[in-house]
Amino acid sequence: MNRGKSILKLSSSLLFILAILMMIPMLVAWIYKEPIIIYKSFVYGVLLSLTLGIIFRLITYKHKAVIDLTTSMIVCTFSWVLISVIGAIPFMVGLNKSFIDALFESVSGFSTTGITVFQGLDEMSYAIIFWRSFIQWLGGLGILTFFLFVTANSEGDLWNLFRAEGHKIGSSRPVPNVYRTIKYFWGIYGAYTFIEMLILWGLGLNIFEALIHSITTLSTGGFSNHDASIAYYQIAGYENYKLIEYTILFFMFLGGINFLIHFKMIIEDKLALFRDAEARAYIKIILGSLIITLVSIMLMRGLSGSELEESIRKTLFQIVSVITTTGFGTEDIGSEFFPAVTKQIFIMLMIIGGCVGSTSGGIKVLRVLILQKLLKREVNKLAMPVHAIVPVTVDKIPIKNEELLRISSIVFGWFMLIIIGAGITAMFSDLGPFQAFSGMASAVGNIGPFYFSVAKMASLSWVIKLTFIVGMLAGRLELLPIYILISKKVWK
């Protein structure tokens, strides 16, 4: 009972903040003189959020919330589901979408997955487009971290709430105080977003499009206001389309790096990026994927000097877009432009994802690096005495066996979820096995692109869409909070 009241009390504060945030798109609707139905779609969301917030607060008025790690994980999952449902209301009312499609888009937005079931984005309401992108920006560093940031509340064990949204290995923070840590991260996040917006504006995008693409780049979400994504700017004949692509590519790359590294580079050590083992591995994976693709293109169709820049730009853009799980596109990853080996690499990158502590999804580079070192240790131990102790280290820091077991269990759970989801997708559709696997890998990895069309995604059974919704939430929260929510032992 006490745990339940703690969950409701913390959720009530989050609902009040959500109600305020849902008023912002109404300002966009006013600026662009949009129809009254658009205003209503957000008013209904605000009223529902306030009503639930007041009810939860009345139920828990005299209760003092206890925030242990288990409670934090339940709060995290419960809040993400609740906010996603309320966040879907503008899509249901303003666009007349079904509940399952609206919820799918809302979860995809908040989880920064970027899979969409919506078409006709170029003609869509400005306020709806803004809300669709804004929820990705909020979800980038986490809804709960935003809640902690705006409430400026550093009392109690709130670090558990911060940890619950993504199980960072070691739970590193630059300063002892949790609020100051979150303030620094959101400050860097906001500054990068603003800088990118100014650059894109200077390159010819109008201020609205510059804002939309900057908030969905740093969040590594990938929602665009164009059906053609970033390829639109070349198709539409923008003079600076190449610079636009390079700018977005650069900021996607930044979004895939641990924000603790950003802090160190700005405050302490300009070379922190190259001193960190995970960041180095991240860069090596990107460069290795680029080299393999370029060699494959040369073997497949040759590569003249005039095509070299385009091949490098498009390939690097999609590699960074996929590994950071942003999902922007300048070229369809299933097109003939990319060799078969590159399409396989894209699947691998979907699963790996970006760095721990970044806005990216996926298993995370650090976990893959640790598992690789664990395999190497087990092979080396075959040539050593039976009782030899050989620790797994990253940056000369030993990784505890408890952490190794936790990483192994998360990765196992990750693959099992993808396999089960791919099976359900294949069972309830006419998609091939590779397409079904790519769809669920995209959902769990919070990435967006997959090897079939958006129109096909929109037409899939509600069973598949619900499976993908669970996959997107589980991937964003890194599995454990979802499992804890449905655990009988935890509630007992």
pLDDT class of 170 with cuts at 50, 70, 90: very low
Residue that has been written with the tokens 């091939």 in this structure:
432
In a domain, 456, yes or no: yes
How many percent of the chain have pLDDT more than 70? 87
Total tally of structural domains belonging to the chain: 1
Q: Which range is most confident: 206-220, 341-355, 446-460?
A: 206-220
In a domain, 422, yes or no: yes
486, pLDDT greater than 70? no
pLDDT class of 267 with cuts at 50, 70, 90: confident
35, pLDDT greater than 80? yes
pLDDT class of 387 with cuts at 50, 70, 90: confident
Task: Name beta bridge partners: 393.
Answer: 398
pLDDT class of 79 with cuts at 50, 70, 90: confident
In a domain, 349, yes or no: no
**34-38, 176-180, 394-398: least confidently modelled range:** 176-180
pLDDT class of 313 with cuts at 50, 70, 90: very high
pLDDT class of 63 with cuts at 50, 70, 90: low
Residue bearing the bigger pLDDT, 364 or 386: 364
Residue bearing the bigger pLDDT, 194 or 59: 194
In a domain, 276, yes or no: no
In a domain, 369, yes or no: no
The pLDDT assigned to 400 comes to: 84
pLDDT class of 284 with cuts at 50, 70, 90: very high
Q: Which two tokens stand for residue 337?
A: 């432009």
In a domain, 139, yes or no: no
1, pLDDT greater than 80? no
pLDDT class of 490 with cuts at 50, 70, 90: low
Rounded average pLDDT over 387-407 = 82
**238-242, 338-342, 371-375, 450-454: least confidently modelled range:** 450-454
In a domain, 330, yes or no: no
The pLDDT assigned to 259 comes to: 87
pLDDT class of 154 with cuts at 50, 70, 90: very low
13, pLDDT greater than 90? no
**How far is Cα 390 from Cα 397, in angstroms, rounded to an integer?**
13
53, pLDDT greater than 50? yes
In a domain, 118, yes or no: no
Q: Would you put residue 63 in left (φ > 0), alpha (ψ -120 to 50) or beta? A: beta
Please state the pTM of the whole predicted model.
0.89
**How far is Cα 212 from Cα 131, in angstroms, rounded to an integer?**
10
- For residue range 218-245, list pLDDT tens digits in order: 999 889 999 999 999 999 999 999 999 9
The pLDDT assigned to 143 comes to: 67
Residue bearing the bigger pLDDT, 23 or 299: 23
**45-49, 61-65, 323-327, 334-338: least confidently modelled range:** 61-65
How many percent of the chain have pLDDT more than 90? 46
pLDDT class of 4 with cuts at 50, 70, 90: confident
**How far is Cα 173 from Cα 176, in angstroms, rounded to an integer?**
7
- Averaged pLDDT score across all residues of the chain: 86
Rounded average pLDDT over 129-146 = 85
Give the structural domain span for 456: 395-491
